[in-house]
Amino acid sequence: MKEVLVIIPAYNEQDNIKRVVDNLICNYPQYDYIVVNDGSRDHTRRICRENNYKLLDLPINLGLAGGFQAGMKYAYRAGYKYAIQFDADGQHKPEYIEMMLKKIKEGYDIVIGSRFVERKKPLSLRMLGSRLISGAIRLTTGSKIQDPTSGMRMFSRKIIKECAINMNYGPEPDTVSFLIKNGAVVAEVQVEMDERIAGQSYLTAFKSVFYMIRMLTSIIIIQNFRKRDKRYLEL
Amino acid sequence: MTPLFRAILIIASIGTLIGIVRKVRNAKVQIESSVFWIGFSTLLLFLSIFPQVAEAVADLLGIYSTVNFIFLFVIFVLFIHQFTNSIKISQLEDRIKELTQEIAVRELRKKDLESFEEEKKNEENNSNRM
């Protein structure tokens, strides 16, 4: 078994999944991977079976949080030291995993593959959301997270266990904010991301407004009242 | 609005806020569902602390008393929430059904495959003996 598990949640990704997973298998054999098919209604499941990919096959659609948590449960049970959340649509580039791994080994709990460590955030509507969330995290934790909405995050064993067994640990900025508040050390590593090549994103235009409301309420208000389950301490 | 009515509204909304925050604190509710209750009770709190807002809206809609507007407002919000809830519940029931069936079918399929392999092995053994 290797030390890193790449968790690839996939919902209706028939056009992308083969390219993404084949790239990992051929060019990055130093990492283990697992595809979490989140009850896709297209041919994602068939493609994974035919190619003999390592697959967690969920019979119904749980959404990103539930699918990712299934992957974290596997990472925890199988004993992986590090797990990385990795998009099935090809936005994330595996060549940056190595740098993130190096960083997390310096003793961090979470390492975010960030688009804006060395580069400036563009002034678009999309990035306005990112700015607001950054601001909310800064306001409540004092930490500066440049790219809180980046879906490329690496977690240490401690956090893997916590995410695997608890409620309200979705792979979202509010979880990161909560963990920082509770003493987790977070670093960012500059990465590049590709635009989506095919398929639909989890976030549609209408949903993203609701997403912003939810995230901001969650980060600014709700996270302050949450109690941390101490069970994760006994590793 | 009478002071007593306002006081009741304030107490009720603060009570709701405390209740939902405690549930979140002990990980008994998902954050997604708590956002509604926090928003709703904050709004109610706002309306009872600043009744002028409710009065203005009531005036605008041609409703005689502010209290009636508050009732209408609460009923309307809860109506929508109940509607979406009922849809969510029926989807949930369907998913449980699907999950249960899936587990049962997968288990049987596994047994099918096992017994199929056993048969094959037996046949091979038999033909070897012959």
Domains in chain A (CATH in brackets) are: 2-224 (3.90.550.10)
Residues of A with CB below 8 A from B98's CB?
A: 59-60
Residue A174 has pLDDT above 70, yes or no: yes
pLDDT, position A25? 96
Model pTM? 0.83
Band of pLDDT at residue A234, cut at 50, 70 and 90: low
Residues of A with CB below 8 A from B92's CB?
A: none
Band of pLDDT at residue B1, cut at 50, 70 and 90: confident
Residue A144, Cβ density class (10 Å: 0-12 exposed, 13-18 middle, ≥19 buried) = exposed
Structure tokens, A203: 């976030």
pLDDT, one tens digit per residue, over A84-93 is: 999 999 999 9
| Predicted ipTM > 0.85 | no
Tell me, yes or no, if A197 comes closer than 8 A to chain B by beta carbon. Answer: no
Give the strand pairing for A186-190 and A55-58.
unpaired
Structure tokens, A3: 């030390």
Can you tell me the mean pLDDT for B99-120? 89
Structure tokens, B66: 């502010």
Residues B116/B117/B120/B125 CA torsion (nearest 10 deg): -140
pLDDT, position B22? 93
The span from the CA of A132 to the CA of A124, in Å, is: 12
Can you tell me the mean pLDDT for B85-89? 96
The span from the CA of B67 to the CA of A218, in Å, is: 31
B30 DSSP assignment: -
pLDDT, position A38? 95
Disruptive mutation site among A55, A167, A182, A231 for chain B (greatest number of B CBs within 10 Å)? A167
Give the strand pairing for A153-156 and A110-114.
antiparallel
Can you tell me the mean pLDDT for B52-74? 92
Residue A114 has pLDDT above 90, yes or no: yes
pLDDT, position A153? 97
Can you tell me the mean pLDDT for B22-50? 92
Expressed in angstroms, the distance from the first to the final Cα of chain A is 19
Question: Contact B24/A213, CB-based, under 8 Å?
Answer: no
Q: Identify which of A77, A23, A230, A64 has the alpha carbon closest to the alpha carbon of residue A153.
A: A64
